Amino acid sequence: MGALEMEVRTVRKLAAGVASASLAMLLACPANAQTAPQADQDLMGLNDGELRDALDMRYDAALAATLDPAIINATDARFHWASEAKVQCAIAIGFTKNDLRDEDSIRKCDAAYRRLMAPPPAPPPPPPPPPIPVRPAICDQAVNTVFFDFDSRAAPQSTAATAQFLRSNTQTCGWTGFDVVGHTDRAGSDAYNDTLSMARARSVADIMVAQGIPETMITVAGRGEHDLAVQTVDGERNPQNRRVVITVR
């Protein structure tokens, strides 16, 4: 076995240990593989001087790439193609020094060089923004009304369901508080109705607290007969006016 052949075999063994294993692993992963462009010239068709120049150029470019921090730290396969091109081009150059052409190493040198020089794959598009949460329609129910019997201070049984609705949707809707305002119809004196409206508001607020709404979120007020839902003459009873209005904030 000649000295040149032993040298070539040694270099090829080193190439297999240095680059081939990692390249094979990368090629098995479609995300890292790059397709080499078609050769724009047939290196084997060049004369000896032109071939040596072409191989030297590829080797120098590959060597520089293996020392470039941008390529060393890249997440694509360019560093590995640079390593492969450097090794294969060195083998091919070694043959040319003895006026020989090793078609296998020349072909691999050119293919690895072209993969190295190919544009890196475009980065994946950014993920779409998360969908904007849709505000539930129930959150737009800003006003809830509880109606009272004539001259009654006791909130009806349905008030508990209203309070449960408010409590269960407070976080979802982003409500920060509740204004509870009592009202009366025009039967009775102003002073009496002022007191009655406040008592009605307090009755509803107590039920809201009992259902789990913090008292600190509730304001209570009484308007008596001064803010009617339905305009009536003084002294007239009207069920639409006997109410407590809960407004969310």
Mean pLDDT value across the chain: 86
Could you report the per-residue pLDDT of 65-74, keeping only the tens digit for each?
999 999 999 8
Q: Final residue of a domain: which of 61, 85, 117?
A: 117
Residue 216 counted as domain residue: yes
Percent of the chain at pLDDT exceeding 70: 84
d(CA 176, CA 170): 7
Instruction: Using a pLDDT cut of 90, give the percent of the chain over it.
Output: 73
Asked whether residue 106 falls in the same domain as residue 144, the answer is no
- Measured CA to CA, the distance from residue 16 to residue 109 in angstroms comes to 14
pLDDT score of 204 more than 80: yes
pLDDT of 192 strictly over 50: yes
Q: State whether 112 and 8 are in the same domain.
A: yes
Number of domains in the chain: 2
Q: What is the dihedral of CA 109, 115, 116, 120, to 10 degrees?
A: 180
* Residue 22 confidence (pLDDT) above 80: no
**Domain check: are 81 and 184 in the same one?**
no
Query: What pLDDT score does 5 carry?
Result: 54
Which residues form the domain of 179? 137-248
Q: Are residues 8 and 48 in the same domain?
A: yes
130 occurs within a structural domain: no
Do 158 and 76 share a domain, yes or no? no
Give the domain-ending residue among 63, 82, 117. Answer: 117
Highest mean pLDDT among 72-86, 108-122, 227-241: 227-241
Environment class of 41 (CB within 10 Å of its CB; exposed 0-12, middle 13-18, buried 19+) = exposed
What are the pLDDT digits (tens) for 112-162? 999 999 987 788 899 999 998 888 888 888 889 999 999 999 999 999 999
Would 122 be classed as within a structural domain? no
pLDDT reported for residue 17: 44
CA nearest to 115, candidates 127, 107, 124: 107
123 domain residue, yes or no = no
State whether 150 and 64 are in the same domain: no
72, 87, 117: which is the final residue of a domain?
117
Q: Does 27 reside within a domain?
A: yes
Q: Is residue 131 part of a domain?
A: no
Find the range with the poorest average confidence among 37-46, 145-154, 239-248: 37-46
CATH label of the domain that carries residue 211: 3.30.1330.60
Residue 16 has pLDDT above 50, yes or no: no
